[in-house]
Structure 1
Amino acid sequence: MLLTKFTHACIRVEDGGSVITIDPGTFSEVEEAIAGAAAILITHEHPDHIDRDRVAAAVRSSDSLKVYAPEGVAQDLREAVGEGASSRVSTVEPERRYTIAGFDVRTFGGQHALIHPHIPVVKNIGYLVNGELYHPGDSFIVPHGVTVGTLLVPIHAPWSKTAEVIDFVTSVRAARAHQIHDALLNETGLRMVEGHVARLGGHYGTEFKHLSPRESVTI
């Protein structure tokens, strides 16, 4: 598979001529990330993970593009795209297995990490693609019963601290890891957090590599 990292939490996965995109949000290069994609997977409703207007426009302008998302996101998108395209927006649930655009997709988790008790917790789905690539969305849910080859690490967020990021990496123990959810850090902060992740993750067998926006890697 070819993994391409876009700004923040958005990634594109290509395999055998098929393409899926995960979390094309408002911080990301949405049109570029979803160009030619057969499906878009959304982890949760926050705008840095789904640019509602641009995703809805892409679905309306296509005869085949499909979207998979937690219930609330899916319902909102169905209303946004209209009756003609609403059947191509599907709800996903945690602890399930789906075939999406030729990819084997398993789902984990169920809710977003806690930001603050005054801020409601929303649904969040983590996606394991082809038994290899894990995108947790905004959570540190460790997928059970599987061995993850490539882990996408939410490197910084209002809901996390660096110790939790490191613990997530050392708990999953993937062979490889790359950062996501990095748009809120400047270069100094990014180097610091990634340095800890690379050093301590390495103790547990995880090789961390930073990916710049639009950089691709074969996994």
Structure 2
Amino acid sequence: MKLTKFTHACVRLEKDSKVLVFDPGNLSETDKALAGADAVLITHEHPDHIDVEAVVAALLGDGSLQLFAPGGVAAQLREKAPDAGARIHTVAPGETFDAAGFAIQSFGGQHALIHPQIPVVANVGYLVDSNVYHPGDSFVVPDGVGVQTLLVPIHAPWNKVGEVVDFVIGVRAPHAFPIHDGLLNEGGLGLVEGHVTRIGAKYGTEYRHLSSGDSVEV
């Protein structure tokens, strides 16, 4: 399976001529990420994880594109793209389903706390083919399964470096790559990734930096 990193939280998976896209948000190259996509997984409603205008255009432009998202996001998209309503699916934690030939398991439930005065929204993490785990904006460790490839939220208004490292330790995936890094400059990114690389290795996780457009086989 080919994994391609796009800016911030957007990741594209390709397998057997099928394409699955995570979180094409407004900080990412959505046109490139969504080109030829068969299915899209949305973790939550924040605009850095879903560029609603771009996603609606993709749904209306491709009558076979399937989308999976928490209830609030799914409802919003059905309202904006009623002709695509049958292809917009609501996902809750604890479900299993197929998306364009990829086997999906869902975890989590809510976005990590930013501040008590900022509402907490629904957030669903997705494990693909018992391999790649995208947690969205949370540090929920999938229960009862093993993760081979972890996508690590490197930096956000809701996390700190120690929590990032503890998440990597908790999941203990053999391989890890960055997501949610669009707000960091080169110096800040290097600092956080240094901690994740060094401490993660002690617990069996090999962390590798990917820049936007970089691909790797997983």
Higher mean C-alpha deviation, range 187-196 or range 85-94: 85-94
Q: Is the 8 A contact 2:173 2:205 kept in 1?
A: yes
- Aligned-pair CA distance for 1:58: 0.8
Equivalent residue number for residue 117 of structure 1:
116
TM-score (norm 1): 0.99
Report whether the alignment pairs 1:49 with 2:49.
Answer: yes
Instruction: Give identity over the alignment, percent.
Output: 60
**Cα separation, 2, equivalents of 1:150 and 1:61:** 32
- Listed one character per residue, the Cα deviations across residues 20-60 of structure 1 (whole Å, up to 9, x for unaligned) are 10000000000110111111100000000000011001101
- Aligned-pair CA distance for 1:87: 1.0
SS state at 1:184 partner:
coil
Equivalent residue number for residue 65 of structure 1:
65
**Cα separation, 1, equivalents of 2:169 and 2:84:** 42
Written as runs of structure 1 = structure 2, the 5 A alignment for 1:3-22 is 3-22=3-22
- Aligned-pair CA distance for 1:86: 1.2
**Cα separation, 2, equivalents of 1:205 and 1:20:** 28
TM-score (norm 2): 0.99
Q: Which letter maps to 1:164?
A: E
Equivalent residue number for residue 147 of structure 1:
146
**Cα separation, 2, equivalents of 1:158 and 1:131:** 29
Written as runs of structure 1 = structure 2, the 5 A alignment for 1:55-204 is 55-82=55-82, 84-204=83-203
Query: Which 4+ runs in 1 deviate beyond 3 A?
Result: none
Segments of 5+ residues of structure 1 without an aligned counterpart are: none
> How many corresponding residue pairs?
218
**Cα separation, 1, equivalents of 2:173 and 2:54:** 33
- Aligned-pair CA distance for 1:99: 0.8
- Listed one character per residue, the Cα deviations across residues 103-134 of structure 1 (whole Å, up to 9, x for unaligned) are 00000000000000000000000000000000
**Cα separation, 2, equivalents of 1:191 and 1:61:** 39
**Cα separation, 2, equivalents of 1:97 and 1:61:** 27
- Listed one character per residue, the Cα deviations across residues 162-208 of structure 1 (whole Å, up to 9, x for unaligned) are 00000000000000000000000000000000000000000000000
- Listed one character per residue, the Cα deviations across residues 60-97 of structure 1 (whole Å, up to 9, x for unaligned) are 11111111000000000001112x21111110110110
